Amino acid sequence: MLLSRRLLCSLVLALTPLAALGQTDTPIIAAASDLKFAATEIAAAFKTETGMEVTLVFGSTGNFATQIREGAPFQMFMAADETYVAELAAEGLTRDAGALYAEGRIVMIVPKGSGMLADGSLESLRAALAAGGVTHFAIANPDHAPYGLRAREALQHAGLWEALGPKLVLGENVSQAAQFATSGDAQGGIIAYSLALAPEVSALGDYALIPAAWHSPLQQRMVLLKSAGPVAEAFYAYMNSDPARAIMERYGFALPQ
């Protein structure tokens, strides 16, 4: 039942025009897709403790940055790559430079029952490619999704990017890539560690951490936008609270001091 409610919520947000969302008094938070489970729990805890509520919209960081430039009614942006926040701040679209809230990691994941092993060294992927056992492999679109870009960097480090290219299935964001990677239609994928740790995802696939040295750091930064009101400000501050940090740690994020 929990999974069904979350999927329904995601579908409702995906199908609701941003302009319509902006007509409510509840602030809209644009959150990177790797936060799908962690931020949902944090928002629920925030509501329990304060009585205040936020609306979370999940997607790729790059797409959100574009939407912010086009006037989307977000009050806060939680990016998976701080570069996007720095660019928006330089353009005068944010309150300030924001604050680091986490560092993310990537994992290789394979669906349950796959003939390929979840292997952080990607040697099982290399062997499966050589044997012709890979037809589809999922990552987020590296053109606008930070987790997809880091997946590409890791595959390049392993010398697998060129061989794997024709077999790649690109998710619009890392959450969609996780769906592709665990659906059984793909032999596996590279996704966010935070998603792999969620029971809804780990029940579908096995995963292994890819060495952090194989890709650029996923320094994740949050920022208030110029339109932020008191509730968004309170949620921004709540992200540094002990309850919020405990949730983030449980989903595999390294936290700034």
DSSP 143-173: TT-HHHHHHHHHHHHTT-HHHHGGGEEEESS
- State the pLDDT at residue 113: 82
How crowded is residue 216: how many other Cβ atoms within 10 Å of its Cβ? 13
Query: Are residue 7 and residue 64 in the same domain, yes or no?
Result: yes
- State the pLDDT at residue 184: 86
Question: What mean pLDDT do residues 157-182 have?
Answer: 97
pLDDT digits (tens, 9 = 90+) for 134-166: 999 999 999 999 999 999 999 999 999 999 999
3-state secondary structure of 71: coil
3-state secondary structure of 37: helix
For residue 157, being part of any structural domain is answered with yes
For residue 140, being part of any structural domain is answered with yes
The first and second tokens of residue 182, run together, are 């665990």
Owning domain of residue 110: 104-214
For residue 146, being part of any structural domain is answered with yes
Q: Contact 54/228 with Cβ under 8 angstroms?
A: no
Is the pTM for the entire model greater than 0.85?
yes
If one counts the domains in the chain, the total is 2
For residue 256, being part of any structural domain is answered with no
For residue 185, pLDDT beyond 70? yes
